Amino acid sequence: MKTLSKRSLAWLSSLLLLVSIFASLVVVPVEAATVDYVYSGSYVYNWGTREEVATFMSPMAEAWYEKNNTSYEELSALSGSASRDSVPSSALYKELKSLMTTNHKKITSYAETRDLFQYTDCEGSGKVSKKISSFYSGTAIGPAWDGGGTWNREHTWPNSKGDASGNGENDIFMLRPTSKSENSSRGNKAYGETNSTSYYNPNSESGGKHDLRGDVARIMLFVYCRWGNTVMMWGSSGVMESREVLLKWVEEDPVDTWELGRNDSAQSITGTRNVFVDYPELIFIMFGEDIPADYDSPSGEGASDSYNITATSSNTAYGTVSVSGKTITASPKAGYAVSGYTILSGSADVVRSGNTFTVTAASDVSIRIDFAPRQQVQVKLMQGNTLLDTLTAYSGDEVTLPDWTWDLPDDGTTFVGWVENTVEETTDMPTYYAAGSKYTVGDNTTLYALLSRTELDGGVLSNVFEPYSGPLTEGDYLVVGNNAVMLGALTDKTRLQYEDITLTGGNIIAPNDKAVWHIAPNGTNWTMLNLSTGSYAGGTGYKSSNQATLIATLTDFAKWTVTVKSNNTYDFINVGNEAAGINPLLRHNGSVGFACYAKNTNVGTTITLYKRAGGTTYYFTDSTPAPSFTYGDLNDDGRINNHDLALLQKYLNEWDVTVNEAACDTNADGRINNHDLALLQKYLNEWDVTLG
């Protein structure tokens, strides 16, 4: 258990002065304004003491929040969620993730941390001992690195639990120095207290000397929020036994000055802080719980004065309300929405976030939540002037935009996505909403199908793929690594197959059909659609075995962020895998095939691209087929001649004319266009062509 706080010690010291006039020396604890920072260059040493409860904010912490224009009042007004699985989508989680990520200027490497622990994990600014403090037991170790002979670096969030995602696994906020035996005892068990077989109690190494439960909970929350590692958070297969155990540990083991001093030291190295150390109150708010009464914390905020908060519904047929601590939750019924609130009696500040209201009461207060019928609106889906479908929703809701299920002209036209305005034929790809994406509906809306068609230069489909460099643009590509091209097929170990390539004059000619991928933008991301199988290249969402897969429908696991490297190579990072804290980097690795590996890995080879030569892609929203004719005999005299040519020229000036007979489709691309006209003119100059 922690000792008395510094504020308590200060009060006790003052009392001793009054009752003992003979005392020659009274030790007064350090106040926040006079923390004795000791620097080495720009790095600050941990100034705190284990088990001394921190009831003040350090000067570095106060300056950091002031620099970020962020206060406890603003953060605590944001909503969390009482549903454990909904916390990552809450306003408070998102704001804290943004705050800690934006300020994280220096990402430590695994090798660097062994020399940085002398700052973050010393005791008393290094004046107590030149050694560092082993995390679990407090035993003095190091500080010199001995190759892991006596001490090592403990991944408090084990790599095997989904944190092997590159930077997150090397973060000094999560890595802690421990003696070799302590690291071995912990293994990769989740933290908890139910049983020692499935869970590890961090207090087991210190023999009652230190309470590390709250420290551990706040570290896990940092990784959970800063690195977005939410998939493996809970249960014996994760890192924390349960939400209930985490909150219990945070309450029973408050922040000590050593933990606060370490936060200062880590900030001096990285630029960011673990917000859950400075404001542990936010943990309870984020999980939809009341802050415990008289809770000691560095901020000193704790629970506010207890006032009675009651809430009623303006119409229970429209919706109901519930109150938990400072939070009012409104639950509108189908067809109704929350329109606002009214304070019926008392005084309070009320902050609304969706259907959740956070109340800071200045007295007993009664609040009415107002409900009203929702406006029903329609989203019309159009192909040119043709109505394809109508989606019905309530104003303010999201609808999922469908994929294409309707007929298209048999002329190479393909569906791209949905746009809010009609598009005349253009070579510039408009901004669009992809199939499967969410669209927020305000009023009645019309969306148009964005279509594309590639007019192949010279009228012949190029089977030549040239080396590509520079920013990515839409087109047909070969994905290559170490002279192997990625195929739209899987190995028995769930990797993408490959075959060796042969270069002819630096190009790849006539590759396997399964090697051709249509790479296209999807918002800020990209997709890789295999033209032979109709499936997307994607991540699996599973940690083990560095896998990749083929995906039939468009999800985040079928999307990639793409970075152009200086040597004309490309990093394809899988969006779904990265969000789940799973290896996201596409690489080719010898006989294994193409699969996803950790960022910044040296395994496998980077991606190079070869793009199909020739061709111009046009985008448009009206694909009404042009008038067609049979046999090309426009004046019905049984022959194609100059009279037909004059009519054909007229049509060609107005539109491309689709024909049902190859007699006029001279370049066999399914359309009559100016390429055909040139050949047709040659024929007409030599003879009249009789059609049978």
**170, 159 contact by CB (below 8 A):** no
Statement to judge: residues 332 and 318 lie in one domain: yes
CATH number where 480 lies = 2.80.10.50
pLDDT of residue 453: 78
State what percent of residues in the chain have pLDDT above 90.
Answer: 52
Query: In 3-state terms, the chain is what percent helix, strand and coil (to 5)?
Result: 25, 30, 45
Rounded CA gap, 237 and 151, in Å? 26
Shared-domain flag, residues 267 and 314: no
Of 194 and 115, the structure prediction assigns the larger pLDDT to 115
Length of the chain: 692
Tokens linked to 683: 């024929």
In CATH, what number is assigned to the domain containing residue 405? 2.60.40
Judge if 250 and 118 occupy the same domain: yes
Tell me how far apart the alpha carbons of residues 605 and 593 are, in angstroms, rounded to a whole number.
Answer: 11
What does the pLDDT look like over 203-259, one tens digit per residue?
A: 988 888 889 999 999 999 999 999 998 888 999 989 999 999 999 999 999 999 999
Same domain, 406 and 552: no
Residue 63 and residue 89 in one domain: yes
Q: How many distinct structural domains can be found in the chain? A: 5
pLDDT of residue 2: 45
Could you tell me if residue 301 is inside a domain? Answer: no
CB 259 within 8 A of CB 253: no
Same domain, 236 and 334: no
For the stretch 339-384, pLDDT in tens is: 999 999 999 989 888 898 988 888 899 999 999 999 999 999 999 8
User: Residue 612: CB partners within 8 Å, gap ≥ 6?
Assistant: 462, 464, 465, 475, 476, 477, 516
Q: Is 683 helix (H, G, I), strand (E, B) or coil?
A: helix
**Are residues 276 and 134 in contact, defined by beta-carbon separation less than 8 angstroms?**
no
Q: 412 and 554 share a domain?
A: no
DSSP annotation of 97 reads H
As a whole number, mean pLDDT of residues 385-405 equals 92
Check whether residue 429 and residue 364 sit in a common domain. no
Residues 396 and 409 in one domain: yes
Residue of 226, 218, 286 lying closest to 258 (CA atoms): 218
- Return the number of other C-beta atoms located less than 10 Å from residue 662's C-beta: 11
Q: At what angle do helices 91-102 and 213-226 cross, to 10 degrees?
A: 90
Domain-embedded: residue 261: yes
Could you say which of 616, 644, 662 is where a domain stops? 616
Domain boundary among 335, 353, 373: 373
The answer to whether residues 236 and 322 belong to one domain is no
pLDDT band at 124 (very low <50, low <70, confident <90, very high): confident
Q: Kindly state whether residue 291 falls inside one of the protein's structural domains.
A: no
Here the CATH number for the domain that contains residue 637 is 1.10.1330.10
CA distance 331 to 351: 17
487 and 525 belong to one structural domain: yes
Q: What is the DSSP letter of 71?
A: -
Domain range enclosing 432: 376-455
* Residue 110: alpha-carbon gap to chain centroid: 23
- Rounded to whole angstroms, what are the CA distances from 151 to 124, 147, 474, 691? 21, 8, 52, 90
Q: Is residue 92 part of a domain?
A: yes
Residue 47 lies in a domain: yes
Task: Report the alpha-carbon angle 429-434-440, nearest 5.
Answer: 115
Residue 1 lies in a domain: no
480 with 602, same domain: the answer is yes
Question: Closest Cα to residue 356, out of 325, 314, 398?
Answer: 325
Tokens 């905020």 correspond to 301
Domain end marker among 342, 373, 404: 373
For residue 294, is it within any domain? no
In a domain, 302, yes or no: no
